[in-house]
Structure 1
C-alpha cells in the first residue's frame, strides 16, 4: 500500500468509544512522541482529548492531550503510521488545528524537550506562543543543611492519603500546573517518599519525591502549601525533610524543577543549596478557539 497523503484523510476529535483504537495506533506507530511513557495512555477517558486522522475508518495519526481541569490540557503524545513522510508536518499541524478549534478546555499547553524541537516548531507554526520556561535545579546531598523553622507537624504521606494531596493540589496551583486525580495517584509507588504538613490538625502542605537512577538521584516532584499558610516556613520545612531523607538513604543528588519566573520558589531552593542546571523545558500555549468565538484559526506556517 502506498503511503497516505493528507488529502486522503478525515480529521476529527475522537469519541470515547474510539479511544481504544487510537491507543492501539500509538502502540503500533512507527513514529511517535510520548511524554511520561505509557502512563499517558492509561488516563481515563474523562481526561483524554484526542485529535485523530482517519483513513477508511482506521486511525493513522493522532495528537493526545490530557486535561486536569476544565481550563487547561497538555499535549502529551503524537503518533503517525502509514502516512507519506512529506505530509507528516501538515498532518500534525491539522491535528493541532482540530484541538485548537474544538478541545473542551480554555487553553492548550505543550512542554518541549531537547529531542522534540521538530514538534515544538509545528505547534509554534500553528500559533502556539511562549508561555514559560521550566528549569532544573540540583544539589549534592552531601551539602550541609541549615537549621529550619518547624511551624508544622510533618508526617509521612502514603497512598491512602491521596485525598489530602488532591485537596491541597486544587488550591495550591494555577490551573495549568494542577494534576488530575489519576496523575496524583501515579505519583505514589514503591520509590516515592512523601511528607504531609499539618497545623492544628489541618492539612496545609505536602512534598513528594521519587527515587531515580537506582537510588542515586532523589527528584522532588511537588512541594505545595495552601496559599493562606505560605510565608511561614512550611515549604522550607518540607524541603528540608526531603533533603534529610535523601541524605539518610545516601542519594548522591537531589533535583527538582520550577518555573524560571517563580522567584519565591527559586529563592527558597537556592538558600537550600540548589543550583541551576542545563535542564530547560520551554512551555508554549494556545487559547482554544471554541472559547474565543470570532477568532480565525491561523494556517500552518513553517519556522524560518
Structure 2
C-alpha cells in the first residue's frame, strides 16, 4: 500500500478523505462471502499506521452488516433505499439542463457542500468515486448565472443509480430537484433500464417526499453506514 488517496485491496476499494484529516472510506466490491476478515483487519491496521482514526463503510445492505460488525464496526447512520421501475409516466422538464464537465467539478463540489452538512459532504475523491461507480455516467447541471443544483446518474446494464442529487439551499423548493430527477429517470428509460435506485438518509424527509412523489417506492431492507475506529 502506498500514499495514494484511493486503491483496491482484497475486494474493497479504500480512499482517504481529502477534506477530513484521519478519515477513510471503504466500499465492498465483491459479495461479502468473498471477503476475508483477516485481510480487512490488515487493511484497518495499515490505515491506522497512515494516521487514520475513523473508517466509514459505504452504504451497505443489512445482510452485509454482521461481517463488518465482527471486525468492530458500529452503526453510524441509517439510509432508505428507494426503487423506481419506470412503468409510470415521467414528466419531461421544460428547463434546459447542461452537461457537467471536468471544468465544472469545483462548482459541483461547492453546490454539494452547500446542500449537505458534515460527513455527507462530497470531497474530490468522493466525487470521482461517484463518477466512476458505473459503466456509464450522466452529469447534468441546473443553472443560470449560478449553479442551482446537479445530478449524477450511473448505469450498468439494465440497472441505474441516482448517485448524487444536490440543490443549493437558496434554490430549494422551486422544482430544481424535481427537474434533475425527471431528467435522470427519462435518460434511464430511454436506455431500457428496468430499475433506478437511490438512497437517502432516513431523516431526510424533503428528499424522501420528492422521490416518492415521483414514483419511487421504499425497499424494505434499507441500508446502513458503519464506522470503525482503533478505540472501538
TM-score, scaled relative to structure 2: 0.75
Matched, 1:66 2:16: yes
Separation in 2, partners of 1:101, 1:115: 26
Q: Secondary structure at the match of 2:71?
A: helix
Q: Number of matched residues?
A: 219
State how 1:257-268 maps to structure 2 within 5 Å: 257-268=199-210
* Structure 1 position 283, deviation (Å): 1.5
Separation in 1, partners of 2:113, 2:211: 23
Separation in 1, partners of 2:200, 2:110: 21
Change in 2 beyond 3 A, CA 1:217/1:110: closer
Matched, 1:175 2:118: yes
The answer for the alignment partner of 1:50 in structure 2 is none
The equivalent position to 1:110 in structure 2, one of 46, 54, 57, is 57
Q: Which runs of 5+ in 1 are unaligned?
A: 1-13, 27-31, 35-39, 41-63, 78-84, 290-296, 299-304
Q: Larger C-alpha radius of gyration, 1 or 2?
A: 1
Separation in 1, partners of 2:227, 2:64: 19
The answer for the alignment partner of 1:121 in structure 2 is 70
- Whether the 8 Å CA contact 1:69–1:175 is kept in 2: the answer is no
Q: Structure 1 residue runs of 4+, over 4 Å off?
A: 94-102
* Structure 1 position 140, deviation (Å): 1.8
Change in 2 beyond 3 A, CA 1:141/1:76: closer
Query: Could you say what the CA RMSD is over the residues aligned between the two structures, in angstroms?
Result: 3.5
Separation in 1, partners of 2:19, 2:221: 27
Q: Secondary structure at the match of 2:87?
A: coil
Matched, 1:137 2:82: yes
State how 1:1-304 maps to structure 2 within 5 Å: 16=3, 26=9, 32-34=10-12, 40=13, 66-70=16-20, 72-76=23-27, 88=38, 92=41, 96=44, 103=51, 107-111=54-58, 112-113=60-61, 114-115=63-64, 117-124=66-73, 128=74, 130-146=75-91, 153-186=96-129, 187=131, 191-199=136-144, 201-213=145-157, 216-278=158-220, 280-285=222-227, 297=231
Q: Which runs of 5+ in 2 are unaligned?
A: 29-35
- Whether the 8 Å CA contact 1:68–1:179 is kept in 2: the answer is no
